[in-house]
Chains A and B, each alone.
Chain A
Amino acid sequence: MKIKILAFGIAKEILGGSSLKMDIAGDAITAAGLKSLLEENYPRLKQLSSFMLAVNNGYAEGNETITQTDEIAVIPPVSGG
């Protein structure tokens, strides 16, 4: 399946834009699975130590299933003030 991922903060730079289409084998993936796949494809995400993955505007983790119609957002921490 093809999923669309929105990027925020420094993730825009790491993922190369404010949104990205990604090919995933099969027709579903868990939140944890997508997180590790992203970290594998974009090692700088792993270097952040933590980033938030939001699915349909909800914090997503663990076994939560993601399918093609879901809206996915990668939201890294922000420090400025």
Chain B
Amino acid sequence: MMDDFLRYNCQVILPSFGHRSQLMLQQAKVLVVGAGGLGCPAAQYLAAAGIGTLGIADFDTVSARNLHRQILFSPNEVGLKKVEVACGRLTQQNPQITIVAHDLQITWQNAADILGTYDLVLDCTDNFDTRYLLNDTCVLLKKPLVYGAIYQFEGQVAVWNVANSDGTRSPNYRDVYPAVNASQIPSCAEGGVIPTIAGIIGCMQANEVIKYFANAGDLLAGRILMFDAQTMQSRIIRIGTVTKTNITAGAQPFETPFITARELTQEIGSDKYLLVDVRNLEEHEAFNIGGLHIPLNEVEMQPTLLNTGKPVVFYCASGKRSAVAVQIAKKLLPGVSFFSLQNGLDAWLKD
């Protein structure tokens, strides 16, 4: 008890906080989805603040290219499971809380089961499919979702699906963006990202979680905060008090057909597949494994190039952009077989 008193005293003495709020944090069950640029700082602050049960969900491994913003990981951990390293570090940071590792990808099959055991979810993911999946699942399960997203120098934060006093729910992600064409929005790997924006936005997400359970301050419910690290300007856009969406079933995201690097290596000389590099020109010129070059945002304009009678294998650096390319191309040419090179050129080079 003395330990608790010392550890949390500086937040307990805050105006509108107190032991009661600390107890609420201790009883809270919070799931962080994505142990990346946003998830690392968010989880660190939530652990430090004494969230009683903190779940971390991620299926990926530590990658050197992300170390600049994924601050729970070190170079000697490259290749290890992110969720294991993160949970180890968080346990050291606060041994008094329960840390739960979910070494898996959240899919429409498991989302309700996993999210269902938590009081609140943080969207710290890096792709639209999972963002919509978390959003729709939280709406169906009536759980608040603390959203964060970053690009270059900019970030967005909001708290979706909070219960209003009259029983209605505050707006969710689909009130703002009903649908997204992922091939037209560059990721951090393509557009770049300043590491500190991940820290700023991840901390803002943790901030909203603490406020939610401590019942302190005004949540970003019905509002979305935009922050620009270049100008240091922030603005809050009012969305409304009640959601206008009517989500009755979880979205069933497209399941991307994969080909592994090993399988592709065996076929590379046989001319069985049409290879298509969907990275940008600089990446393509620096290194490629042959085939056509069609940057991701141009895939939907090139149906004739893709329709050669051969199955198509899209590839990129990590397998993320090629998975989006498969989705886009399949809509254009339902009769053609499309595959994504699993884990991209990273896996190819390793094999």
Contact = CB atoms under 8 A, between A and B. Distances in A.
B238 A57 contact: yes
Interface in A1-30: 8-10
Contacts of B155: 78
Contacts of B236: 57
B184 A47 contact: yes
B238 A50 contact: no
Contact of B235 (A10, A50, A57, A77): A57
B181 A48 contact: yes
A66 B151 CA distance: 28
B150 A10 contact: no
Interface in A22-81: 44, 47-52, 54, 57-59, 73, 75-81
Contact of A79 (B149, B176, B224): B149
B154 A8 contact: yes
Interface residues of B, number: 45
Contacts of B185: 9-10, 48, 76-79
Contacts of B154: 8-9, 78
Interface in B172-219: 175-182, 184-188, 191, 193, 198
Contacts of B228: 8
A8 B156 CA distance: 11
A54 B176 CA distance: 10
Contacts of A78: 149-151, 154-156, 185
A50 B179 CA distance: 6
B151 A50 contact: no
Contact of B126 (A10, A52, A79): A79
A54 B237 CA distance: 7
Interface in B100-145: 124-128, 131
A39 B244 CA distance: 24
A9 B300 CA distance: 21
B128 A79 contact: yes
A10 B182 CA distance: 12
A10 B151 contact: yes
B126 to A, nearest CB: 4
Contact of A49 (B181, B191, B226): B181
The binding surface of chain A is classed by DSSP as loop
A47 B151 CA distance: 18
Most chain B C-beta atoms within 10 Å of own C-beta, residue among A8, A50, A77: A77
Given A8-B226, A49-B181, A80 B239 contact: no
B38 interface: yes
A57 B224 CA distance: 10
A69 B178 CA distance: 29
A32 to B, nearest CB: 14
Contacts of B224: 52
Nearest to A76: B185
Contact of B39 (A9, A59, A81): A81
B151 A79 contact: yes
A19 B149 CA distance: 22
A79 B179 contact: no
Contacts of B238: 57-59
24 contacts: A8-B154, A8-B226, A10-B151, A10-B184, A10-B185, A48-B180, A48-B184, A48-B185, A49-B178, A49-B180, A50-B178, A50-B180, A52-B237, A57-B236, A57-B238, A59-B175, A77-B185, A79-B131, A79-B182, A80-B149, A80-B193, A81-B37, A81-B38, A81-B149
Interface of B: 34, 36-39, 124-128, 131, 148-152, 154-156, 175-182, 184-188, 191, 193, 198, 224, 226, 228, 235-240, 300
